[in-house]
Amino acid sequence: MTYDIEKPDEQWRAELTPAEYQVLRRAATERPFTGEYTDTKAKGVYACRACGAELFTSAEKFDSRCGWPSFYDPKDSDAVELAEDRSYGTVQTEVRCARCGSHLGHVFEGEGFATPTDQRYCINSISLSLTPDES
């Protein structure tokens, strides 16, 4: 896949913290209930921490009690890309930033949440940066 923002691995390592690098570029997962945005109620826009692309808004964020920030839909349909992930012995749908290809988390559906899409974008806090609305 070709992305608008492509950098050599050494540059990603230099620009990201070791923890950010592991999640965003190596598809690791932060531990549940440890991320800075898990319980955040602030209104604003969540962007990719690697490239700044706007991905989700607080309007689509909901409390799924899963340990990671959850959204029922991305900000724009082309903000993220979905890919099959077989890395944990099961088939999951990985969510990546469509602009730089960074790993964000996974999306699940059919879990019965009372959301308009019946989807849960389970996203690592460390892969996001929140820009709060000005009030």
Residues annotated catalytic, as ranges: 122
Task: Quote the tokens at residue 27.
Answer: 């598809």
Amino acid at 60: E
Q: Mapping DSSP to helix (H, G, I), strand (E, B) and coil, where does residue 19 land?
A: helix
Task: Quote the tokens at residue 31.
Answer: 């531990």
Distance in angstroms (rounded) separating the CA atoms of residues 65 and 114? 13
Sheet holding 92-97, edge to edge: 61-62, 70-71, 119-123, 103-109, 92-97, 80-85
